[in-house]
Amino acid sequence: DSGVTQTPKHLITATGQRVTLRCSPRSGDLSVYWYQQSLDQGLQFLIQYYNGEERAKGNILERFSAQQFPDLHSELNLSSLELGDSALYFCASSVAGTSLETQYFGPGTRLLVL
């Protein structure tokens, strides 16, 4: 158990809908990261937050947005869902969000868009 929690574990929804994925980092970690794992694109970095502020952005679609709240939990919002958004979405966390640290991954949220 990495100490990173993600909810829900599974999510099934329809095209065009909007969903919110939630992540709580390890105790003491200030930075969270979101990754998407799909059959087509493999594991891709989406976005990083540090202490409530966006720090790095990867291949995140405009239909997707994220935020980190004062209690340090993070939410990834996916809207206008398409079939291709079906994937496993991971959250990871680290203490200060620098490359000197290891990122610890949560168990993931498996999203299925029908």
Partner 1 sequence: AQTVTQSQPEMSVQEAETVTLSCTYDTSENNYYLFWYKQPPSRQMILVIRQEAYKQQNATENRFSVNFQKAAKSFSLKISDSQLGDTAMYFCAFMKHIASGSRLTFGEGTQLTVNP
Residues that bind partner 1 (CB under 8 A): 2, 33, 35, 42-45, 48, 50, 55-56, 58, 88, 90, 92, 94, 97-105, 107-108, 110
List, as one string, the DSSP characters of 42-97: EEEEEEEEETTEEEEE-S--TTEEEEE-TTS-EEEEE-S--GGG-EEEEEEEESS-
> What's the min distance (Å) between Cβ of 38 and partner 1?
12
Q: Tokens for 63?
A: 């239909």
> What's the min distance (Å) between Cβ of 16 and partner 1?
27
Q: Could you tell me if 81 and 13 are in contact, meaning their C-beta atoms sit under 8 angstroms apart?
A: yes
> What's the min distance (Å) between Cβ of 70 and partner 1?
20
Nearer to partner 1, 77 or 98 (CB): 98
Nearer to partner 1, 64 or 104 (CB): 104
